[in-house]
Amino acid sequence: MSQPSSATASARAPLQRALDQVVIPDLLRRQIALVQRAGHARELTRHDLTRLALASMSHAHAIESELDNLLSQGWPMERVYLDAIAGTARLLGEWWIADQLDFASLTLATERLQDIVRHWESRFLSSSSKLPGADQYQVMLLSEFNDQHSLGMLMLQSFFKRDGWCVHNTWGMNEEDLLTRVEAINVHLVGLSICTDRRLPQTRQLIHALRERSLNPQLQIMVGGPLVLAQPHLVKDLGADWLSGHADQASREALNHVSQTNSMGSRA
């Protein structure tokens, strides 16, 4: 294959950061182990993921039919999200990085996966019981600015909504919008995904400003993303409270942190 032009490489950067957020390191391995212990359906093979990826490149009906087929086989909705949708996105990203897939095809396939997550929201929200007490808390979840609607962030927001949190829409927000919102509303948790080291100084300043300007003195800051997973010392360096590495556990971990912090604050 020919080497990509500098313009193409530049265009790839935002989408690459979005794809990096879809499946965090070890997520698929952990999910497969969980499924094996629970006795669910077989794990997806490379051949299965290839078929899903090709379907996502074909048209919306093709990939949705493939995913519906998994549900008809008894797959839990959560596993379809984490193994099938996220795994498909990961494979598409691998093809793109290897220059086996052009930018336009990657964009269309990823958008189809995003559309499924959006269109299936009501099905996903009804797929599990809410966490007791989660409806008391408000959360704002953001990727690196201008990448808010990556597939990974859409899925993370879905898990928080399913578990009962009040999830604020962050579409189109810049940093000042975020600070204005936490000044006016009693937000309990801000989750930030950090993919590269390009904005570390700005992220550090943002977290400091969030704490200074928040209406809620017990505001908690959760961070995730490939960079902090690879360099967990950044959690303390950035001034965040904890690192969350798993989309399907982030909500439960966050509820424990936020409820404990608010309980201590009310006794102070």
Give per-residue pLDDT as tens, 135-162: 999 999 988 655 545 888 889 999 999 9
Q: What is the mean pLDDT of the chain?
A: 84
Classify 47 as helix, strand or coil: helix
Same domain, 141 and 252: yes
Stated pTM of the model? 0.81
Pure H helices in 198-246? 200-213, 226-230, 234-238
Whether 72 and 49 map to the same domain: the answer is yes
The whole-angstrom separation of Cα 156 and Cα 114 is: 12
Per-residue model confidence (pLDDT) at position 195? 80
Q: Does 93 reside within a domain?
A: yes
Q: How many domains does the chain have?
A: 2
Distance from the first to the final alpha carbon of the chain: 64
Tokens matching residue 187: 């937000």
**In sequence order, what are the beta bridge partners of 224?**
193
Least confident of 17-26, 89-98, 206-215: 17-26
| Cα distances (Å, whole numbers) of residue 226 to 8, 18, 24, 139 | 23, 11, 6, 21
Q: Is residue 1 part of a domain?
A: no
The conformation of residue 134, written as its DSSP 8-state character, comes to G
Cα distance between residue 143 and residue 193, in whole Å:
5
Q: Between β-strands 138-142 and 189-193, what pairing exists: parallel, antiparallel or unpaired?
A: parallel
Q: Find out whether 215 and 185 touch, Cβ atoms under 8 Å.
A: yes
Asked if 54 and 139 sit in the same domain, the reply is no
139 and 260 belong to one structural domain: yes
Domain endpoint, select from 125, 160, 176: 125
| Residues 138 and 255 grouped into a single domain | yes
Q: Is residue 86 part of a domain?
A: yes
pLDDT more than 90, % of the chain: 65
Identify the band that residue 237 occupies on the pLDDT scale cut at 50, 70 and 90. very high
Contact 160, 128 (CB under 8 A): no
Report yes or no: 115 and 155 within 8 Å, Cβ to Cβ. no
Among residues 101, 125, 149, which one ends one of the domains?
125
Does residue 211 or residue 24 have the better pLDDT? 211
Do both 231 and 146 map to the same domain?
yes
**Segments forming the whole domain that contains residue 174:** 134-267
Residue 63 in this model has a pLDDT that exceeds 50: yes
Cα-based torsion angle of the residue sequence 146, 151, 154, 155 in order, rounded to the nearest 10 degrees: -150
140 and 257 together in one domain: yes
CA atoms of 246 and 43, how far apart (whole Å): 18
CATH of the domain at 238: 3.40.50.280
Cα–Cα dist 47/246, whole Å:
25
- 24 — pLDDT class (breaks 50, 70, 90): very low
Which pLDDT value is given to residue 225?
A: 85
If asked whether residues 118 and 151 sit together in one domain, one would say no
pLDDT tens-digit series, residues 89-105: 999 999 999 999 999 99
Same-domain status, 227 and 144: yes
- Whether residues 196 and 95 fall in one domain: no
Boundary of a domain, candidates 91, 107, 125: 125
